[in-house]
Amino acid sequence: MIKVTILENTCKGCGLCVRACPKGVLAISTSHLNAKGYYPAEVVNGEACIACTSCAKTCPDVAIRIEK
């Protein structure tokens, strides 16, 4: 099982991870603000994750963790 964790209060909601994911695992929240006032990324389709780490590699804030 693969676990995708978003460090919510580190994420600025830039969307780079969403665009980098080939499986549509992530989306930018439209209803939840983090402590800094950004809409963070969230896992919307975790079971589709193939652990390619494209999202984590493109995150400029190092806010994504992938665990197998």
Q: How confident is the model at residue 10 (pLDDT cuts 50, 70, 90)?
A: very high
User: Token match 């919510």: residue?
Assistant: 8
What is residue 5's predicted lDDT score, i.e. its pLDDT?
97
Query: What is the rounded average pLDDT for all residues in the chain?
Result: 97
**Which residues is 3 bridged to in the sheet?**
67
- Write down the domain spans for the chain: 3-67
* CA neighbor of 54 nearest in space, from 23, 30, 21: 21
* CA neighbor of 18 nearest in space, from 41, 37, 1: 41
Which distant-in-sequence residues (6+ apart) come within 8 Å of 3 by Cβ?
46, 65, 66, 67, 68
pLDDT tens-digit profile of 13-41? 999 999 999 999 999 999 999 999 999 99
The CATH number given to 3-67 is 3.30.70.20
Stretch 3-20: mean pLDDT = 98
Maximum CA extent, the chain: 32
Determine if the pTM surpasses 0.85: yes
